[in-house]
Structure 1
Amino acid sequence: MLPVTSTAADTLVKVAGSVLTEVAALRDRIVEEVSGELPELAQDAQARDLLVSTVRENLIAALGVFGGATRRVDVGAPPVALEFARRLAQRGVPITTMLRAYRLGQAAFQQEMITRIAAEPVSAGDVAVAATELSSVAFGYIDKISEEVVEAYQLERDTWLRNRNANRLAKVRTVLSGKAVESGEIEKAIGYVLSDRHVGAVLWCGPDVDEGARLSSLERHAGLLATAAGGRVPLVVAPDASTVWAWFPASSIDPDLVTRVLDGSPEPVRVALGDPASGLDGFRGTHQQALQAQAVALMAGDGLSRSVTTASQLGPLALVAADTAAVATWVRTVLGALADDDEQHRRMRETVWAYLSSGSSLMLASQELHLHKNTIQYRLRKAEQARGRPLSEGRIDVEVALLACRLLGTAVLRPVGD
């Protein structure tokens, strides 16, 4: 970087003083540019007043640095700028929008200053040095101010979200408790129509997601699922720092579509879905089913890569899957060696599942698995040998045990070598 000459420094001081005397005009120009490109920053008179005051105070503070009235190390975000950041957080304006406004303001400020520097009767070299110093100081100012307003924004956003969630969660728990409630009052408080048809969901993530980012990530994914479910706004509350409960006002949600949404995300979010249900009882019922589906998914641990578990998949397993160890013992008793956790027995289990779930039809099973009927018959015989008795013996038990293998994976399978 070129050394700052006395002439260049004097030029900056002089230009800063001239801009300060006309700061209102520059303020108005910046406000118009920012509000024109980012209208969400000036949605009403109150918001616009805060924007105007924020731009004015930042201009005065920055010009004070260039004019020598303020040392760089002493500069800080004006109180009104912090208040504006908190107000944007309360209104849900994205933090990226606020930072974009600061970049627009910086660009307009530098353009005005450089235009005036170039008009000064100094050498081209001093103009270049002054412009370089201008850019360096302006960047440093915006960088420091941005850190402070971002901190104010995030703190307010976190506090506001916690308070809003606490109020909603208390109302939702009242509904879920089964107590008699006045639907109209509850609906107004939580912003959700209880008489609708709902699909309950539980979304959660593991410890590999940063603790401070979990809830925002889960809420964002709930929004993605809402789009997949038709775009209507869901009810979302957080019972803890790593889980959200959601209700989607929809007649159905396609699990395959949900899986595609989650698989397309870089964050390891998992979802449990209840069955569609209507009204107040349905609101409670579909949520309870989603919790059961989550419990089964959690039993599976990391043994399965499935990102979505639905209540409709559980069948009778929802009634017996209260104790992982007990279920594992029962599965291994029912299936024998067919419960061994290796590729050979996995193929046998999938073949038996396709055969039994198709009504013991070799043709339908072969179509589903894209295998010849003779291959299906061969695998069925091998499965019976592994089990040690016919598949028709205790058939219902066999189907439930296979369902447990599909949903719980290694949690119930017998490790090879045991």
Structure 2
Amino acid sequence: MTESWSLPGKLSVDPQNLERLRELTRKIGERLQRETDAISHGMTAEIAAAVGELDDRAMRDALHSSVTDNVEVMIDQLAHSKAVSDLPSLPHAHRYAEELARQDVPESSLRRAYHVGSHYLLARIFDQVQEIDCPPHEQPPLYRHLAGWLYQYIDAITRQVIATYQEEQRSSHERAARTTFTWVNRVLEAEDVSPREFSAATKYRLDQVHVACRVWVDDRADQPAHTPALAPLIDQVRAMLGGRDDPLVVVTGRREADVWFGGVHRVDTRAFDSVVASAGGSRLAFGSPGFGPAGFRASRSQAHQASRIAHVASDPTARVTSYADEGIPVISRLIDDLPATRAWVHDVLGELAVDSDAAARQRDTVRVFLESAFSYSATASQLMLHRNSIRYRLEKASLQLGRGVADKPLDTQLALALCRVLGSVVLVPESGPGTAGASSPARE
């Protein structure tokens, strides 16, 4: 059976000349065998200079061993006309790929190393074509033959070492995730954990201020059921919070994760609305800032409590919640019994609890009026309406409430906050019993 080594589709070699090409290839291989050490050292230096991530003094010996593994095999195969498919074991090359994976060196750096190395060796091989007894008319097919063979070798060995790299990376990430999960659970269970040992194991400081965040993809969203899509969102959140160090991430499901951001003292939830909106179906729920192990636990518990609001709220703007925001701690507990909460809201707000645009305008007017210390002027200024329009709205609101707007202000403000945060979940349908005429448009 004849065989030709060539670049796919183009550089084929006439089978009748194949034996002559193999003879010339063997001569080149035999000459290169005398220069194996020099080629290995030169190639190592070339790769280290070209691929910055691999120019690590501590890893230079491992890189050189990997390069030597490949150079010795390639030159031996040239000298003995072995097929590319007949690759021996390259233990040093595979060990180097595993070490790069463990250190999170990008896979692209390993790929590039092989391209740089093949270019370096091809130049040495082509130099030999000029040194051996090879007539000019035989040189072009020999060049093509050698280039094709080297292409196939690099393709074959790269697939092998990249597979080794990816498997070790997967295993390393799983080991790191299991270790992190164990240490986090120890803190959450209030065990006495050394901050130094926790940091060494998780690469995250325990003796600092923490803000926990529940990150998840809404089940109703048209999103794949996996967590890698959350990574860019988590990176964006870290950058916007101004965290200096990497957050601590614990994956809790195929669509969700608990995240702790260190050194963060305040969260402005409004700043994240556009970010989350652009990440289709993603949600964020923050806990309050807390220091040390106790703060680590409390913030995470609060983030989970706040996340319940986003799970039940009908308003699509409830994509970001924070336990530190006004009213959220109370609202997150009132959703434990939604039927009772809905009934209470209707009892407090009367016809203002109707799920309609007109009632929503009235609720907003009452809310601003109460927050403005019953000032008509301040309410008009904030809503950009005439003072008489505000007075009319509030008079009508008193009829809808069945009492003065300024009566029971705490209950009214809490009920309005529930309507604003939870939306139609606690509102009365516009066509529901007892709502006739309640949703008629208000005159300005």
Summarize deviations over 1:279-338 as a string: whole Å, max 9, x none.
33322222222121122222237x514542211231421221224555455545655665
Distance 1:25 1:376, change over 3 A: farther
Query: Match for residue 93 of structure 1?
Result: 105
Indicate conservation of the 8 Å contact 1:252/1:276, yes or no.
yes
Q: Distance in 2 between matches of 1:107 and 1:388?
A: 85
Q: Distance in 1 between matches of 2:422 and 2:363?
A: 14
Summarize deviations over 1:48-85 as a string: whole Å, max 9, x none.
22211222223344456666644334448733332222
Query: Match for residue 316 of structure 1?
Result: 330
Aligned counterpart for 1:163 among listed residues 158, 163, 175: 175
Q: Distance in 2 between matches of 1:372 and 1:28?
A: 83
| Matched residue SS, 2:212 | strand
Indicate conservation of the 8 Å contact 2:305/2:332, yes or no.
yes
| Root mean square deviation of aligned Cα | 3.9
Query: Match for residue 33 of structure 1?
Result: 46
Aligned counterpart for 1:4 among listed residues 2, 13, 16: 13
1:270-349 equivalent positions in 2, closer than 5 A: 270-300=283-313, 303-313=315-325, 314-324=328-338, 327-328=341-342, 330-331=344-345, 334-335=348-349, 338-339=352-353, 345-349=359-363
Distance 1:2 1:156, change over 3 A: closer
What is the CA-CA distance between 1:411 and the residue it aligns to? 4.4
Query: Match for residue 211 of structure 2?
Result: 199
What is the CA-CA distance between 1:232 and the residue it aligns to? 2.5
Identical pairs, percent = 27
Q: Distance in 2 between matches of 1:292 and 1:61?
A: 60
| Matched residue SS, 1:322 | helix
| Matched residue SS, 2:215 | strand
Query: Match for residue 435 of structure 2?
Result: none
Aligned counterpart for 1:78 among listed residues 90, 97, 114: 90
1:252-267 equivalent positions in 2, closer than 5 A: 252-259=266-273, 262=276
1:357-372 equivalent positions in 2, closer than 5 A: 357-372=371-386
Indicate conservation of the 8 Å contact 2:204/2:248, yes or no.
no
Q: Distance in 2 between matches of 1:97 and 1:183?
A: 34
Summarize deviations over 1:134-178 as a string: whole Å, max 9, x none.
555544444443343333223322322222232232222222223
Query: Match for residue 438 of structure 2?
Result: none
* Higher deviation after alignment, 31-40 or 55-64: 55-64
Summarize deviations over 1:357-402 as a string: whole Å, max 9, x none.
3434444444444555555556656766776776556543443333
Distance 1:188 1:16, change over 3 A: closer
Does the alignment pair 1:52 with 2:64? yes
Q: Which amino acid aligns with 2:370?
A: L
Q: Name which one, 1 or 2, has greater alpha-carbon Rg.
A: 2
Does the alignment pair 1:174 with 2:157? no
Q: Distance in 2 between matches of 1:380 and 1:64?
A: 92
Distance 1:375 1:222, change over 3 A: same
Query: Match for residue 227 of structure 1?
Result: 239
Query: Match for residue 401 of structure 1?
Result: 415
Indicate conservation of the 8 Å contact 1:77/1:145, yes or no.
no
Q: Which amino acid aligns with 1:4?
A: V
| Matched residue SS, 2:109 | helix
Q: Which amino acid aligns with 1:408?
A: L
Compute the TM-score of the two structures, normalised by the length of structure 1. 0.79
| Matched residue SS, 2:313 | helix
Q: Distance in 1 between matches of 2:34 and 2:302?
A: 67
What is the CA-CA distance between 1:91 and the residue it aligns to? 1.4
* Higher deviation after alignment, 266-275 or 333-342: 333-342
Indicate conservation of the 8 Å contact 2:238/2:261, yes or no.
no
Q: Distance in 2 between matches of 1:290 and 1:273?
A: 5
Q: Distance in 2 between matches of 1:379 and 1:76?
A: 86
Unaligned runs of 5+ in 1: none
Q: Distance in 2 between matches of 1:155 and 1:325?
A: 51
| Structure with greater helix percent | 1
Q: Which amino acid aligns with 1:36?
A: A
1:111-150 equivalent positions in 2, closer than 5 A: 111-114=123-126, 116-117=128-129, 121-123=134-136, 127=140, 129-132=141-144, 134-150=146-162
Indicate conservation of the 8 Å contact 1:77/1:149, yes or no.
no
Query: Match for residue 250 of structure 1?
Result: 264
Q: Distance in 1 between matches of 2:31 and 2:50?
A: 28
Aligned length: 412
Distance 1:268 1:233, change over 3 A: farther
Indicate conservation of the 8 Å contact 2:202/2:248, yes or no.
no
Q: Which amino acid aligns with 2:301?
A: Q
Unaligned runs of 5+ in 2: 1-9, 433-444
Indicate conservation of the 8 Å contact 1:200/1:286, yes or no.
yes
Q: Distance in 1 between matches of 2:296 and 2:39?
A: 55
